[in-house]
Amino acid sequence: MTTTSVSSTTDTTTPIVVLDACVMISNVLRYLCLGLARAQVFQPAWSPVIADEWRRNASRLWEVPESQLQLDWDAWQQEFPQADQGNVQLFKEGLRYSDPKDWHVIAAARAAQENFSGRTVGVLTKNLKDFNKSELRRMGLVLWAPDQFLEGLWAEHARLLLSLLEAMPDAVRAPDKPLLSVEALLKRERLYRFNRCYEQQTLTGE
């Protein structure tokens, strides 16, 4: 996987991270990513197609009406007014080697390259196998897996991440589910390397 250091030095250098629908549908990943975005660690990006995919799948999995989920998405749109890259259909041109069902995600990243000239742009996804690394690299795009992405933020943003993690069990708890520990939630999401960062921090207290 292509790796790039994620930094939050200034508003003009923060990376642009396209949040795939599979990331947004995870309560843990959505909570962490939006928390980091609120702290301006990165600028989130998405498209109407990603929004539609999230609403459709979330409605099916959570048995919640899409109209109710639309309210959540509208709130994120208002909170992050630069996130929506609009109609990205034209940015699919030239794509060949990645899975066609995810061309719209790459297209959102290519649109963000145009809208945020000079900034690092990448895709954060759990479905790495659907994206051809060489194809994205040729386009100047980064591909991140959630575990490596979050681990890469630890050195610079440990205090912020610890604050988010301490509040996470209550924040992501479903009304009819038991309260899980930070470790249990991270391992359930297969965030093993990120969890090791957290465990080491809590052990040493550094």
Neighbours of 103 (CB within 10 A): 21
Q: How far is CA 50 from the centre of its chain?
A: 12
pLDDT the model gives residue 8: 37
Helix (H, G, I), strand (E, B) or coil at 19: strand
CA dist., res. 105 & res. 93, Å (int): 13
Residue partners of 146: CB distance under 8 A and separation at least 6: 23, 29, 124, 126, 189, 191, 194
Sheet holding 16-19, edge to edge: 43-45, 16-19, 121-124, 142-144
pLDDT tens-digit readout, 91-147? 999 999 999 999 999 999 999 999 999 999 999 999 999 999 999 999 999 999 999
Contact 8/42 with Cβ under 8 angstroms? yes
Crossing angle of helices 146-172 and 192-204, rounded to 10°:
70
pLDDT tens-digit readout, 57-72? 999 999 999 999 999 9
What is the residue-wise DSSP string for 130-181?
A: GS-HHHHHHTT-EEE-HHHHHHHHHHHHHHHHHHHHHHHHHHH--TTS----
Mean pLDDT of the chain: 93
pLDDT the model gives residue 6: 45
pLDDT the model gives residue 174: 83
Contact 43/113 with Cβ under 8 angstroms? no
Q: Which two tokens stand for residue 74?
A: 């509208």
Exposure pattern of 80-89 as b/e (b: 16+ CB <10 Å)?
A: beebbbeebe
pLDDT tens-digit readout, 71-83? 999 999 999 999 9
53 pLDDT higher than 90: yes
pTM (2 decimals)?
A: 0.91
If we measure between CA atoms, which residue out of 172, 159, 127 comes closest to residue 30?
172
pLDDT the model gives residue 205: 62
